[in-house]
Chains A and B, each alone.
Chain A
Amino acid sequence: MRARQLIPALATCAAMLLPQLAQASSHREAPFISRMPKVDNTDFYMFRSYEPGRDGFVTIIANFQPLQDSYGGPNYFTMDPDALYEIHIDNTGDAKEDLTFQFRFQNPLNDTSGGQTGITLDIGPAGSEKKVSIPFVNANLPGAPANPLTAANQASFRNVKEAYTVKVVRGDRRSGQAADVANGAGGNSFVKPLDFVGTKSFGSVGAYDTYSKAHIFPAKIPAGANACTAGADIKVFVGQRQEGFAVLLGNIFDLVNASAAQLTDPNGGSLGNPIGNKNVTTIALEVPIACLKSAGDDVIGGWSSASVRQARAINPDATYGKPSREGGAWAQVSRLGSPLVNEVVIGIKDKDKFNSSVPADDLKNFADYITNPTLPAVLEGLFGAANVKAPTVFPRTDLVTAFATGVTGVNKFKGTPVVGEMLRLNTALPTTARGSQQRLGAALCFKAGATPNDPKVLDTTNPGCDPAGFPNGRRPGDDTVDIALRVAMGYLLGSGIGTSTTAPNADLPLGDFVPQQDTQFLNEFPYLNVPNPGAGGS
């Protein structure tokens, strides 16, 4: 098939393909998690820090609470105090966690009576006033205009005081050895900044930036068995950020309301991110490489999860502190490693199962979805008359490599690692500075084989090769939608457009016309942008 013939078909083809991507990386991707947005893990990033002077560290970001409307008051987007948020690291290749960072949140009201009353105002005639609780999360009073909320005055003005603790568990996340991460003041509690209520509450976007940066905390991992024997300094941040995932959301649901030329734009498009006006809640860590990797391997695997207690009893006489009582063991309800796996790879009947599963069981549970993916076949079945052809090579070992094993010599563990879906990062590969990163990540490190039917071969001298990008870890600027679309249609299996019988669409520059680029993000921890304000402009 020639490119000219293929382009008209792609508009329709993408109309079928992209709606599945439209739930975004992992936003509301499974039926059950869509009922529980506070524990819905939306994106997971893991990369060697490219902030100047920080390349001895790995930044790990786990986003939660999808598609937040910034004006979502009065409660905004506190984390679930009854949930357990976790980031897992495998550094031995057995697809089981060797290191887990656990986050637990508390959100008491601001009062001296146990956090049940909150800030009150004296209301009523002089001499017979009543103390009445305010209905807002902040009360920058008195003042006309209101005093901006700052890190220094929030103890007085903030009505909901959200804070969290971090533990490190070495070994199994439930039965391993757990220890608190210490904050810089000798305690173990960290403050989560109030969401960006609006510019009147904080003064300006710049003032909120200053406020949120004050919640990037130095912390110390307790001594461990690897190179962290003397403890290690890390950074911790939890707070609201602008949605970092870019996808053509509204247009896609409107039968991909874009031209074929847009969908095959080799430059990745020029539309602004349709969900860039949404926010997410970010858990971010920056950890020394030596504390994450094992002594014998530079590769680490990472994924995040969220769990809730298995049982919940609703309090028929609900209070702020006790709307319910929850108990039982932790039951995992959200899981995320590589983007888009639970959206476009796992069948809908197994999406909830995926969220409750662990990587070590992936071969048993989900192998067929990777080796024999349905999506390309669906596309061919619907659009075969327009010469849309799925790859013909089975099992799809190219997808196994991308999602479940890593590439030998790049991000695959040494020895014979266990198959498991997680994000794999070779911590020894150098970083690529912001401004020089390739939006297609490491995809361009592969060049055409000897014939169109031969798999692409790894060549780090290939123009555009950026081995520091997805799927070698994932940075915010990696355009994972475009990468995933191309890989699913056989990018790694052959070469050319219409010239390969094993992967006829191998080199079609498929994309969603919404560019994702490193320069759209910060050049410093936590890399994701300041959130959109709930009210007021920039």
Chain B
Amino acid sequence: MKSRTWCLSAVGVVLASLAVAACDGDDAVGNSPLLDGGNADVVNPNPDGGGDKEFAQFVKDLILNETKDNNKPVDLATAPAKDTEPKDVFEPAFFK
């Protein structure tokens, strides 16, 4: 430890200055519409809210088309609300 004595009260200044630094450096803020102001690191594949798509089909599309290590999660706020519990979305071959 280089400094033998250091006063903790100095951290009050740190907070304010770091707040400015964080705002300057965080390019993730405002990337996507968020319901809860939470994870900005998501994408929106269904800007129209999913239209007439079934939720199960939405899930299937994610698995078939979005399974990549460098993808960002989709924003679930845009997932279709329609869920008629269709029985034929996940055919047996899907799991082979």
Contacts and interface: CB of A to CB of B under 8 A. Distances in A.
A299 to B, nearest CB: 12
Contacts of B48: none
A327 B28 CA distance: 24
Contacts of B7: 449, 455, 457-458
Contacts of A418: 18, 21-22, 25-26
A36 B96 CA distance: 25
Interface residues of B, number: 48
B72 interface: yes
Contacts of B4: 458-461
- For chain A, the bracket of interface size reads 35 or more
A360 B92 CA distance: 43
Contacts of A361: 26, 28-29, 40
A174 B18 contact: no
Contacts of A360: 22, 25-26, 28
Interface string A416-442: 111100000000010000000000000
A327 B21 contact: no
A244 B26 CA distance: 36
A95 B27 CA distance: 13
Interface string A316-327: 110000101111
Contacts, number: 161
Nearest to B14: A405
A313 B22 contact: no
A419 B62 contact: no
A410 interface: yes
Given A328-B73, A330-B69, A492-B8, A419 B18 contact: yes
Contacts of B96: 322
B86 interface: no
A364 interface: yes
A470 interface: no
A11 B70 CA distance: 51
Nearest to A323: B95
Interface in A446-489: 446, 449, 454-461, 467
B60 interface: yes
Contacts of A178: 69
Contacts of A409: 1-3, 6
Which of A94, A311, A460 has the largest number of chain B CB atoms within 10 A?
A311
Interface in B28-48: 28-29, 36-41
A32 to B, nearest CB: 12
A454 B10 CA distance: 12
Contact of A457 (B8, B59, B74, B90): B8
B35 to A, nearest CB: 11
Interface in A148-194: 174-175, 178
A331 interface: yes
Interface in A309-364: 309-313, 315-317, 322, 324-331, 353, 356-358, 360-361, 363-364
Given A328-B74, A458-B6, A416 B28 contact: no
A313 B94 CA distance: 10
A365 interface: yes
B15 A397 contact: yes
A310 B8 contact: no
Contacts of A175: 70
B84 interface: no
Interface in A493-520: none
A457 B73 CA distance: 45
Contacts of B40: 361
A401 B11 contact: yes
Contacts of B37: 365
Contacts of B92: 317
Nearest to B95: A315
A8 interface: no
Given A353-B38, A364-B22, A325 B63 contact: yes
Contacts of B94: 313, 325
15 contacts: A174-B71, A310-B73, A328-B66, A328-B74, A357-B38, A357-B39, A358-B28, A364-B26, A405-B11, A418-B18, A418-B26, A429-B1, A458-B3, A458-B4, A459-B4
Interface of A: 94-95, 174-175, 178, 309-313, 315-317, 322, 324-331, 353, 356-358, 360-361, 363-365, 367, 371, 395, 397-398, 400-401, 405, 407-410, 416-419, 429, 445-446, 449, 454-461, 467, 492
Interface of B: 1-12, 14-15, 17-19, 21-22, 25-26, 28-29, 36-41, 59-60, 62-64, 66-74, 90, 92, 94-96
